[in-house]
Copies of this chain bind each other. A is one copy, B any other.
Amino acid sequence: MARMVRFHEFGGPEVLRLDEVEVRELAQGEVRVRVGAFGLNRVETIYRSGHFGPVSFPARIGYEMAGTVEAVGPGVTQWREGDRVAALFGLSMEDYGTYGEEVVYPADMLVPVPEELTFEQAAASWMQYGTAYGLVEIGHIAKSDFVVINAASSSVGLAAIQIALREGAVPIAVTRGRDKAEALQSLGAAHVIVSNEEDVPARVMEITGGKGAQVAFDAVGGEPLSALLTAMAPLGTVIVYGMLAGPICTLTLPPLMLANLDLRGFSADLLVRDPQSRERLVEYIAGGLTEGALTPVIDSVFDLADIVEAHCYLESNRQLGKIVVRT
C-alpha cells in the first residue's frame, strides 16, 4: 500500500485527496519507483478542473517525479533496484499519474538522475526543459537571436531563458507585473518587458533595433499572441505552447503573411512520444543538467500532506519557478 494523490470529482485544489492505494503488478516493460519528489505543472490544474475531457474516477494525476527503482517488470533490462531515475512527461495521467509515494512507469520513459542532482531538482527538470527544448527542436534558435519569452516567471519560462542563453541567444523576458522584473534579470533575462506597463511589440522593436525578434515562445495565446506577430523579424518563428488567455485567438493575417512568419503549435508530449526526438531531447537536457548550464529554479517545496495547499499556491501565480512536493 502507498499514499497516492487522487481526485474523485472535478474541481478546485480541495478535490485532491491522499488515498491509500494498492500498487499494481508490473506489466511487460514497466518499473516500480519509490518516489522522492514530484513536480507540479499548470496543466495538472486544468486536468483537475475537468477541461481535459472525460476521466474515470478516482483519478490519478501528475506528469513528473524522481525516485529510486524498487522493482522491474518482465523484459526490463536497462534498470535495476536502487537506480535513481526520473520520469519523462507526456504519458496519460490516468495510467501513469505521478503524484504519490509509489509509481509504476514504463522503463523507456525513465531517465537516470545523476549524482549531482537531488530528487527535488530532477523532479523539477524534465517537463520544463522538455517544453523549453522546443526552442531548439522547432525554433532552431541560433547565436545572437532575439528570443521573446512570455509568462517568463513560470518554470517553463525560466527554463526557456536558460536554454536561450545556452544557445548564445538573447532572451527577452515578458512578465505582467514589475515585481518579478528584477529577479528575472538576475536569472538571466537580457531584457525584461513589463506587459502591464509597457507596449510589448514596441519594446521588442526598440530592443532589437527595429528588426524584430527571430523567435518567440508564447504561453499565452489570445491578443498578446496576435500582438507578438507584429514584433517578429521576417521568417521569424512563434512557438505557441500554452493558452493562458484562453483557447481562442484572433489573429491578423497580414503580418504573418508579409513576413513569412512561422506560427508553430507545440506540445512537447509529441516530441517525447517519438523515440528519435525523445533521444535528442534527453541528450540535450541531460547534458545541460550535468554541465550546469541548466539549473532548475525551485520556488518552494511542499510536503505530500500539503498537496491541496501546493495546488492553491500553484494557481496563485505568486511563484517564480517550480513548485515541488517531497514524498
Interface residues, chain A, CB within 8 Å of chain B?
138, 221, 234-235, 240-243, 247-267, 270
With a cutoff of 8 Å between Cβ atoms, the chain B residues found around residue A260 in the complex are 138, 264-267, 270
A240 in complex: contacting residue of B241, B253, B264, B270, CB < 8 Å: B253
- Asked if A248 and B248 make an inter-chain contact with CB atoms under 8 angstroms apart, the answer reads no
- Asked if B234 and A257 make an inter-chain contact with CB atoms under 8 angstroms apart, the answer reads no
A265 in complex: contacting residue of B243, B250, B253, CB < 8 Å: B253
With a cutoff of 8 Å between Cβ atoms, the chain B residues found around residue A235 in the complex are 270
- Asked if B263 and A264 make an inter-chain contact with CB atoms under 8 angstroms apart, the answer reads yes
- Asked if B240 and A256 make an inter-chain contact with CB atoms under 8 angstroms apart, the answer reads yes
A252-B247 contact in complex given A263-B263, A263-B264, A265-B263, C-beta closer than 8 Å: yes
A257 in complex: contacting residue of B241, B251, B252, B259, CB < 8 Å: B241
Could you tell me the distance in whole angstroms from the C-beta of A274 to the nearest C-beta in chain B? Answer: 9
Could you tell me the distance in whole angstroms from the C-beta of A40 to the nearest C-beta in chain B? Answer: 20
How far apart are the CA atoms of A256 and B253 in the complex, in Å? 16
A252-B259 contact in complex given A234-B270, A235-B270, A270-B235, C-beta closer than 8 Å: no
Could you tell me the distance in whole angstroms from the C-beta of A50 to the nearest C-beta in chain B? Answer: 15
How far apart are the CA atoms of A249 and B241 in the complex, in Å? 19
Besides A243-B257, A250-B250, 14 new A-B residue pairs in contact (Cβ under 8 A), listed by A number: A221-B253, A240-B253, A241-B257, A242-B257, A243-B253, A247-B252, A249-B251, A249-B253, A250-B251, A255-B265, A256-B263, A256-B265, A257-B267, A259-B265
- Please, which residue of chain B has its CB at the minimum distance from the CB of A255? B265
- Asked if A266 and B270 make an inter-chain contact with CB atoms under 8 angstroms apart, the answer reads no
With a cutoff of 8 Å between Cβ atoms, the chain B residues found around residue A267 in the complex are 257-258, 260
- Asked if B262 and A252 make an inter-chain contact with CB atoms under 8 angstroms apart, the answer reads no
How far apart are the CA atoms of A28 and B4 in the complex, in Å? 77
- Asked if A251 and B251 make an inter-chain contact with CB atoms under 8 angstroms apart, the answer reads yes
With a cutoff of 8 Å between Cβ atoms, the chain B residues found around residue A221 in the complex are 253
